[in-house]
Structure 1
Amino acid sequence: MNWISEWALPKIQTWLGRREVPDNLWHKCPACEQMIFHRDLERSLHVCTHCGHHMRIPALKRVEYTLDPGFQRIELPKAPADPLRFRDQRKYADRLKEAQAKSGMDDAVVVAHGTVEGRRAVVAAFEFGFMGGSMGAGVGEAIVTAAKLAVLQDAPLIVFTASGGARMQEGAVSLMQMPRTVIATQMVKEAKLPFIVVLCDPTTGGVTASFAMLGDIQIAEPNALIGFAGARVIEQTVREKLPEGFQRAEYLLEHGILDMVVKRGAMRDTLARVISLLREPLLALAAPEEKPEAAAAEKPAPAESAAAVPAPPSAPAVKPVASPVPKAVPEA
């Protein structure tokens, strides 16, 4: 059999031509470690077909999975690139340029507007691959821009969060984005527009401590990690063993912090239904009243209505009884 592998097979490959096999045809699930063909993974919206694990996906994919075709991406304002001129092992400016070149984004958030099954919406999605989705001045500017756009277009604001928290390389500047984003969400609520937050894996740190927990409707993907500090830090602080599944989406739903846990395949339909429930009754109340002529034409005639409704039985007549009046007492 040696001559087959050493002589015959190379000759056959030479005649037919050698084909290069791409490296990304198969993907391994990080939960069950099963191999998934890339087309099957795309069809399942990057959800494992074996165990149902929801894999992390890019921000632009979330926008594509949520909005109808034809959505428009918004160009965001430029934020200071390196306000503190920070440097640890490398310059922050170099890390930022590397993340921008790798992701094709200016910062860790994508903002777009369009429709969700025909209903207008503004969507902001975090990119965890961009420095862990950390929140700096650029992210704060993106959330403020998305809120202003939602108010301008009279549309609900949907935010997909996937972040490790505030960006330490920007110091106090990143911490100031927490009140900025809270004020931005308040603008949306004052305009009587729905603010919907979809918590994805992971959502931690300053993002959780600010706008991510202020949604009118709080939704999460299955088994998403949601919290402020890490579980190990909490155990060391309280000196107690944390319960099973602590800081996971199902645990938070059970304890009333979330409104629902929705699988990625049903997320678009759920968002459309929530927007319909929150917006369409308000739009119906704001509609102009009917004209009096049309209302009079639709109103049935008095004779017909009287004939249709049977008269109630007459109550027995009751004679009024005069209350006894006390006689006047003569003065002494």
Structure 2
Amino acid sequence: MSVQTRPRRLNARGLLDLVVDPGTYVSWDAPVTYTEHSKAYETDLAAAREKTGEDESVLTGEGLVHGRRVALVVCEFGFLGGSIGVAAADRLTDAVERATREGLPLLAGPASGGTRMQEGTLAFLSMVKITAAVRRHKEAGLPYLVYLRHPTTGGVMASWGSLGHITVAEPGALLGFLGPRVYESLYGEPFPEGVQTAENLQARGLVDAVLPPEELAPTIHRALSMLLPGPVDPLPEPASLSASPAEVPAWESITISRNRQRPGVRQLLHFAAADVLPLNGTGQGEKDPGLLLALARFGETSCVVLGQDRQRGSKQPALGPASLREARRGMRLAEELNLPLLTVIDTGGAALSKEAEEGGLAGEIARCLNDLVGLNCPTVSVLLGQGAGGGALALLPADRTVAAQHAWLSSLPPEGASAIVYRDTEHGAQMAQEQGVTVSALAAHGIVDHIVPEEPDAAAEAPAFCRRMGQAVEYELASLRTVPSAARLEQRTARFRRLGSAG
């Protein structure tokens, strides 16, 4: 008969020993000083120092993680529940500011009940200085990674614990704003079980992954390899760059694009990307199956990927407002870290429902467009298959657009356009041809820059097609990195400003 045991939780030193390469950790901690406090609090502090062997609830320093220099700030929960007082906040802030000065990525490992009650409002307000330092670190284009440990609640969760570019959590960790003990004391009943767990937060799109401590170092290495890419050598032009658009009837391409066996963004990444690190949700309590968000590397070029997710052999999820809010999270990540952004368009249309309307679908499409046209980072969009309606438009504007031969783009599915013009759906093929939805028509108008052939269509040769598309994407991403930001923005605006102009 097995006995269920609680998972072993590492203290701060244990986590540092596990994550940092042996013998490379260097502490940044200076001796702490306190203002005058009560005798009872001084007794508590002395007992915490005796119990943990640490002088405060936070350890800061630097070390190598798989050979890469990284700054670290880690809570010691055994020291008064990892609570943050003024001295701990100053230590944290000093470390974040030093990481920013020295151009280092930063890993935070909170495990805390929140701000220190014995220090009252000053401790509570100290979250502001920590947050301001984290903001400046991110504004400097430096990665901020968060590993939420058990437990993390209160003011820590509501400030520097929730600001990561990437946030992962310890299995089974209790995570949330409200401490369960406080809730039970206030309301006389326990807080509902299963709400404040790492696994539930992942399911709700609040954290990117749940990882045991043993997997943290290799995950950090993979993430930083993509978030802090090195220089990329110029690439030879792929054969697809000179491919001419084949004159294919619109309805033929639309029929081919709707094949359930056609490869989607997941197959593209599987066959063409050198590495992929999935991200998860909006970070604000929403997760929608209509969109894939990830970090990926094509050859030596890293990027943020937003892909409308064709799920092979199943009913396709409609693109809802939560998907677009998740997309905007990816856009912010690319902007903050100056990574290229790759958007993959493959949708039969946005969600048409009461929930989508009440969730602000139209506004989210508008905000995606607004964000995309003004991003300072390089942007590439891929028309991979279907490109219907506002869901396609929301991810289209880019510096360069690559298209599969049988992709298409239209304000509505052809049947919908037929219903408006002819009050039936029988004229769909005619409407598609007349509206110029094909890749050849898009290329003629300067909307598509690079066409990847299908031989004869992507569903029949998925691995080879995906690798060709990957080569085209890698070339476009790498080429754009050499163009100054101001020139890219000017060219991006001009290409859409010219649409429909005579001559």
Name the TM-score class by shorter chain.
0.5 to 0.7
* SS of 2:127 mapped into structure 1: helix
In the alignment, which of 98, 103, 106 is matched to residue 154 of structure 1?
Answer: 103
Aligned to 1:167: 116
Separation in structure 1 between the aligned mates of residue 41 and residue 190 of structure 2, nearest angstrom: 37
| Partner residue, 2:18 | 65
Encode CA deviations 1:113-158: one digit per residue, 9 max, x unaligned. Answer: 1211011101111100111101001221121122122123211100
Q: How many matched pairs? A: 243
Q: Determine helix, strand or coil for the equivalent of 1:162.
A: coil
Distance 1:268 1:54 in 2: 19
Aligned to 1:122: 71
1:299/1:159 Cα in 2 relative to 1: closer, same or farther (>3 Å)? closer
Question: Quick check: 2:15–2:213 contact (8 Å CA) kept in 1?
Answer: no
**Shift in alpha-carbon separation, 1:238–1:274, aligned structure 2, 3 A:** farther
Match of 2:199 in 1: 250
Q: Compute the TM-score of the two structures, normalised by the length of structure 2.
A: 0.44
Contact (CA 8 Å) 1:77, 1:141: kept in 2 or not?
A: no
User: Tell me, what secondary structure is at the counterpart of 2:205?
Assistant: coil
Structure-2 residue corresponding to 1:86: 38
The match for 1:284 among 203, 225, 231 is 231
CA shift, 1:54, in A, is 3.2
Alignment correspondent of 2:146: 197
Q: What letter matches 2:10 in structure 1?
A: I
Report deviation, 1:311: 11
Contact 2:32 2:55 in 1 (8 A): no
**Counterpart selection for 2:29 from 40, 64, 76:** 76
Task: Give the Cα separation in 2 of the matches to 1:145 and 1:66.
Answer: 22
- In 1: Cα distance, 2:182 partner to 2:167 partner: 25
Query: What secondary structure does 2:218 align onto?
Result: helix
Partner residue of 2:4?
Answer: 32
Match of 1:181 in 2: 130
RMSD of Structure 2 on Structure 1 (CA): 3.1
Partner Cα distance (2:43, 2:156) in 1:
24
* Partners of 1:122 and 1:157 within 8 A in 2: yes
Q: Which amino acid aligns with 1:258?
A: V
Determine the structure 1 residue equivalent to 2:59. 110
Letter in 2 for 1:203: T
Question: Residues 311, 132 of structure 1: CA spacing in aligned structure 2 closer, same or farther, 3 A cutoff?
Answer: closer
- The answer (yes or no) to whether the contact 2:12–2:59 under 8 Å persists in 1 is yes
Equivalent residues of 1:76, 1:142 under 8 A apart = yes
| Matches of 2:141 and 2:175, distance apart in 1 | 27
- What is the CA-CA distance between 1:97 and the residue it aligns to? 1.7
For residues 241 and 203 of structure 1, the distance between their equivalents in structure 2, rounded to whole angstroms, comes to 18
TM (norm. structure 1) is 0.65
The structure-2 alpha-carbon separation of the partners of 1:186 and 1:56, relative to structure 1 and needing over 3 Å to count, comes to same
Name the CA distance, whole Å, in 1 between partners of 2:221 and 2:165: 15
Which whole-Å CA distance do the structure 1 matches of 2:49 and 2:243 have between them? Answer: 77
The alpha-carbon distance between structure 1 residues 311 and 64, as it changes in their structure 2 partners (threshold 3 A), is closer
Distance 1:75 1:268 in 2: 20
Contact 1:86-1:170 within 8 A present in 2 as well:
no
Deviation for aligned residue 1:232: 6.1
State the structure with more CA Rg: 1
Do the aligned partners of 1:76 and 1:145 also contact (CA within 8 Å) in 2?
A: no
